[in-house]
Amino acid sequence: MRQPVEFGLDTFGDVTVDDEGVRLSDAQTIRNVVAQAVRADEVGLQFFGVGEHHRREFAVSSPEIVLAAAAAQTRDIHLGTSVTVLSSDDPVRLYERFATLDAVSNGRAEVTLGRGSFVESFPLFGYDLADYEVLFEEKLELFAQLLAERPVTWQGSKRAALERADVFPKTEHGIRAWVGVGGSPESVVRTARYGYGLMLAIIGGPAAQFRPFVDLFRRSLDAFGHESQPIGIHSPGHLAPTDEEAWEQLYPALKANRDAIGAERGWPPYNRMQFQRDIGPGGAVYAGSPARVAEKIADTLRTLDADRFDLKFSNGTLSHEHMMRSIELYGTEVVPRVRELLA
Residue 111 confidence (pLDDT) above 80 = yes
Residue 21 confidence (pLDDT) above 90 = no
Q: Is residue 284 part of a domain?
A: yes
3-state secondary structure at position 139: helix
Residue 145 confidence (pLDDT) above 70 = yes
Residue 131 confidence (pLDDT) above 90 = yes
Residue type for position 220: S
- Supply angle C-alpha 161, 112, 6, rounded to 5: 145
CATH (domain of 170)? 3.20.20.30
Query: Over the stretch 281-306, which tens digit does the pLDDT of each residue have?
Result: 999 999 999 999 999 999 999 999 99
Q: Which long-range contacts (CB under 8 A, 24 or more apart) does 252-256 make?
A: 252/317, 253/16, 253/315, 253/316, 253/317, 253/318, 254/285, 254/315, 254/316, 254/318, 255/316, 256/316, 256/317
Structural domain for 304, as ranges: 6-342
Instruction: Give the pLDDT mean for 313-318.
Output: 96
Query: Over the stretch 211-263, which tens digit does the pLDDT of each residue have?
Result: 999 999 999 999 999 999 999 999 999 999 999 999 999 999 999 999 999 99
Q: Is residue 52 part of a domain?
A: yes
Residue 19 pLDDT class (50, 70, 90 cuts): confident
Rounded Cα distance between 25 and 15, Å, is 7
Q: How far apart, in Å, do the first and last CA atoms of the chain sit? A: 15
pLDDT of residue 303: 97
Rounded Cα distance between 211 and 132, Å, is 27
Q: Is residue 202 part of a domain?
A: yes
Q: Is residue 233 part of a domain?
A: yes
Q: Is residue 51 part of a domain?
A: yes
Q: Is residue 1 part of a domain?
A: no
Query: Over the stretch 33-76, which tens digit does the pLDDT of each residue have?
Result: 999 999 999 999 999 999 999 999 999 999 999 999 999 999 99
Chain mean pLDDT for the chain: 96
Residue 94 buriedness (CB in 10 A; 0-12 / 13-18 / 19+): buried
Residue 1 confidence (pLDDT) above 70 = no
CB-based burial, 114-123: b 16+ in 10 Å, e otherwise: bbbebbebbe
pLDDT of residue 183: 81
Number of domains in the chain: 1
Torsion of CA 185, 190, 195, 198, to 10 degrees: -40
